Amino acid sequence: MFAMVPMEIEISSGEWICALLKRIEEASDGSIFLLPSEMHLHAFYVALELLATNKKFTTRLFSSQEFHDQPKPTSTQAR
């Protein structure tokens, strides 16, 4: 049998209650949910109450730029 390993679960700005319910059900105890807004944090706790799960999670707010905007290399040489 495989042990469930806690993971970081990134929630996108388009995921709400239905998606959160599924993600919470599939998540292992101790996972970290990365949420894009305070509204998503509220929705997360609503979903958590609906499921009445005993799993413990950590939540963090993040800006989408934090994860998706990678610095682009720039060349100082003209070609």
Tokens of 50: 């609906």
**CA gap 30, 52 in Å, rounded:** 16
pLDDT at position 34: 95
Domain for residue 76, yes or no?
no
pTM summary value:
0.73
Domain for residue 2, yes or no?
no
Q: Could you give the number of structural domains in the chain?
A: 1
| Interval 6-20: pLDDT, tens | 899 999 999 999 999
pLDDT at position 8: 93
Domain for residue 1, yes or no?
no
| Interval 20-55: pLDDT, tens | 999 999 999 999 999 999 999 999 999 999 999 999
Residue 39: domain span: 8-63
Plot region of 52 (φ>0 → left; ψ -120 to 50 → alpha; else → beta): left
